[in-house]
A and B are shown apart, each in its own frame.
Chain A
Amino acid sequence: MNRMTRILLALAFAALLATGAAQVNLKVFIGGQQRPDVIGPLLDKFNAENPDIHATFEVGGATSDVQQQYLSTVLTSKSSAIDVMLIDVVRPAQYAASGWAEPLDSYFASPDAQKTYLASFLPGPVNADTVNGKLYAIPAFTDAQFLYYRKDLLDKYGLKPPKTWAELKSDALTVMKGENNPRLQGFNYQGAAIEGTNCTFLEALWTAGGNWRDANGNITIDTPAGKQALGWYNQTLSSGITIPDIASVGTDDSRKMFQAGDVVFMLNWGYAWAHFQSDADSAVKGKVGVAPLPAFQGHQSATCVGGWQWAMNPYSAHKQDAFKLMQFLASEDSERTLAVKASNIPARKALYKDPAVLEAAPQYADFYDVIINARPRPVTPLYPDVSDLIRTTMNAFFARSLSADQALKKMQTGLQDILSQ
């Protein structure tokens, strides 16, 4: 072979030897919406503290579904390209069943150490991350659905935030009649066939004292509680406090309508608050209040838990180091940074009393009362089928293609079929 080839081969050989001094490379996968600009510096800090590990991040698509798509491709191929990933709160059960998340119990020093560690987090996310008694993910930040309301309008009519759904309806009607504004909506929520619509249904069901399944595993949707829940939504539509095309309203549509000043009461996630207060063109700045969801007479308030968790790729080549990274990312300091800089609602209880956090986001003090009661959506490996059924049925119900009874029956029999597979 000629001279050039010989030189190149020698260089390649040398390069091969040089990489022998192994620096462990870790890859963290986050979605486009999870503030890579905040997580980047966190990783830099970790790299500085751990010189033999180099962690970088990879940014995926912006929504839960798109990221799920990508992660399932990578994990089905048993690729070790990713070590740590940020997954939605509804995923741990599926990932556990598919073998896509590494069980973390064995990485703690002892079961007691694990218990103490987890006690510092909010119970809702931890429950979502624990499948069949094993821990599959560590909470990064959390979320829940809140009742947003127009403080100024309620004050004008001498009303307090409603504690029951009936109160909400009468309050909304009072305000709508008084304002005499044809654009004003009394009550807005999500009815499109999106994941959030599961919460629209479950919250009404929970606040009626029911649940999708009872302690013995029977499906309990076509029950008086279910009828009460859907009956309430029928009332919102028939009384006119909700717009008739609610079946096409998604999460951000709701937020935008409220932000334009057209809504009195709204169910939405935590992200909306930052928009209301900080967006340059917000018509509701300083006029927004947050409260726990109302309930039916004689029952407790409840809300859906949201948020994201750190999980480990079981095909990762550096699991111990990955666990170290996860603990760093879930540490109080990191979560404080996330809360302050990225407006992520903290998953650690202590941070709700932390002065730095409260200074940056004083509303978290109000949020705490709501979040402490947040409940997980059905924790089952078959969640995608369950979610698909509930949200499409609710969407059909809001589109008036199904009556309340038909919808309840469909969900009941559908869930029985799914879970009997």
Chain B
Amino acid sequence: MTGTRKTTPYRKPGFWRRLRTGNLSDGQLGALFLLPALLTLAAVMLYPMLTVLWQSLHFNRLNQPFRGTPFIGLENFRRMLWGEGLTWNLSHLLWLRLIGLALLAPLIWVVRRRWLSPLSGIVLAVALLLLSLYVLGFRPGPDGRWTDGRFWNSFSITMVILVSSVVGSFVVGLPLALLANVASRLRWLGRVALLLPWAMPRVFAGLTFAWLFQNQYGVINDVLRHLGFQGPLWLARVTPAIAAVNMTIVWKTSSFVGLILLAGLQSIDASLYEAAVVDGANAWQRFWRITLPLLRPSIAVALIFRTLTAIQTFDIPFAMTRGGPGRSLETLGVYIYNSTLALNIGYAAALSVVLFVISLTVTLVYLRWIYSE
């Protein structure tokens, strides 16, 4: 007997059955996996972020409650970014502006080489251009002034710290990571050296270095004295203070960069190097052709977060000099802190929004770079 069994048409197993056997579609699996992270972030961060955005559009001085908290739109931003009597003054800081313009050339090259899509290139160019309005010479004329010169001061010192500490942390961090990856019995010591600066809380790192940089009781000037030099008055003069704070930040963050790069190095397959040696490549070529390209994702991650934290720098300049001789080390983070302490909440929120916009622009460009392949 051939027995035609009654066959039911095939029905796709239900969601829960598929979950149990692990056979969900991409979209569903993706949604499921992303849910915990997104939920946590939304629950904790959404309300505060929206509150800050909302507050930046209002006037809010806690020590002047009789003035209420009226909606003032973009007035906070106008006060921050604009001024009176602004004119073009092309000769101001000419050298800096020429450098800025010169940076546009490699940008064009990078876009032509398809490393950045034209869209990102345009975004970056516009951002650079807007940034360099200050640098390009659109500034208060002889009778004019910025409404908030303090903002531009904090902006420029933030940019200085951004560039020098990001570059510095990579210059120090990459060799550190390479050395900590070397097959040697002292490797654990290298890993400790990588970990210790990162493990110290930022405030105490700042305070410790403030003490190390002290003129009478500090180690650094003592060592310099033994070597026959008269050390500068580190934290008591503007330029040495900026140098000292940058050095501290680089010290602290190069270990962060080093850690991430080390992880990237560890996941590079050793057989690739062996094959390269067989092919006759020397150490430099191995580094340039194998290590660096494979490290690109790690470099990108470290770059993004280094930049984000560099823009928000607060703890170390504050702990070392409370904002520097005068206001010379009052970064955006310190300015926001001072505004909050002065109970000018609306303005502090507006400053945070500007910080956010700068960070977002930079991140968008970086992220496009990671996903460009």
Query: Which A residues fall within an 8 A CB radius of B?
Result: 65, 68-69, 72, 76, 94, 97-99, 183, 191-194, 243-248, 253, 257, 381-382, 384-385, 388, 392-393, 395-396, 398-402, 421
Contacts and interface: CB of A to CB of B under 8 A. Distances in A.
Contacts of B62: 72, 76, 98
Nearest to A384: B342
Contacts of B343: 72, 94, 98, 384
Nearest to A244: B233
Contacts of A192: 321-322
Contacts of B41: none
Interface stretch (B13-21, B234-242, B277-285, B305-313): B234-242
A245 B327 contact: no
Contacts of A194: 322
A401 B233 contact: no
A399 B324 CA distance: 10
Contacts of A183: 216
B291 interface: no
3 smallest CB-CB distances across A and B, nearest first, come from A396-B326, A399-B325, A245-B236
A193 B63 contact: no
Given A192-B322, A243-B216, A245-B236, A384 B341 contact: yes
A190 to B, nearest CB: 12
B3 interface: no
Given A98-B65, A388-B338, A245 B325 contact: no
A385 B347 CA distance: 13
B321 A193 contact: yes
B359 interface: no
B76 interface: no
A253 B207 CA distance: 12
Given A247-B325, A388-B341, A396-B327, 7 more contacts: A94-B63, A248-B236, A385-B342, A392-B330, A395-B325, A396-B325, A399-B238
B65 A392 contact: no
A244 B231 CA distance: 13
Given A65-B341, A248-B321, A392-B326, A382 B63 contact: yes
A99 B343 CA distance: 12
B154 to A, nearest CB: 12
Interface string B221-234: 00000000000011
B323 interface: yes
A183 B210 CA distance: 20
A316 B124 CA distance: 53
B247 to A, nearest CB: 16
B64 interface: yes
Interface in B298-350: 321-328, 330, 338, 340-343, 345
Interface in B50-71: 62-65
A193 B233 contact: no
Contacts of A395: 322, 325-326
Contacts of A392: 323, 326-327, 330
A398 B327 contact: no
Given A97-B64, A384-B341, A248 B214 contact: yes
A402 B326 contact: yes
Contacts of B238: 399, 401
Interface of B: 62-65, 210, 214-216, 233-238, 241, 321-328, 330, 338, 340-343, 345
A302 B340 CA distance: 32
Contact of B216 (A76, A257, A385, A402): A257
A302 to B, nearest CB: 26
Interface centre among A68, A194, A388 (most CB of B within 10 A): A388
A248 B326 contact: no
A13 to B, nearest CB: 31
A248 B234 contact: yes
Contact of A381 (B64, B216, B326): B64
Contacts of A99: 65
A223 to B, nearest CB: 22
B341 A248 contact: no
Residue of A69, A399, A401, A421 contacting most chain B CB atoms (<10 Å):
A399
Contacts of B325: 193, 247, 395-396, 398-399, 401
A410 to B, nearest CB: 9
A396 B338 CA distance: 17
A192 B215 CA distance: 14
A421 B341 CA distance: 17
B9 to A, nearest CB: 44
Contact of B65 (A68, A97, A253): A97
Contacts of B215: 243-245, 248
B63 A381 contact: yes
Contacts of A385: 342
Contact of B237 (A243, A257, A400): A400
Which one of B62, B64, B330 has the greatest number of beta carbons of chain A within 10 Å?
B62
A245 B233 contact: yes
A194 to B, nearest CB: 6
14 contacts: A69-B340, A72-B340, A94-B63, A94-B343, A97-B65, A193-B325, A193-B326, A243-B215, A388-B342, A392-B323, A392-B326, A392-B330, A396-B327, A401-B326
Contacts of A253: 214
A193 B327 CA distance: 9
Contacts of B236: 191, 244-248, 398-399
Nearest to A197: B322
Contacts of B214: 245, 248, 253
B341 to A, nearest CB: 6
A384 B344 CA distance: 10
B3 to A, nearest CB: 51
Chain A CB count within 10 A is highest, among B235, B330, B338, B342, for B342
B262 to A, nearest CB: 35
Nearest to B232: A245
A401 B328 contact: yes
B222 to A, nearest CB: 13
B237 A399 contact: yes
Contacts of B341: 65, 68-69, 384, 388
B322 A193 contact: yes
Best-surrounded residue of B216, B241, B325, B338 (most CB of chain A within 10 A)? B325
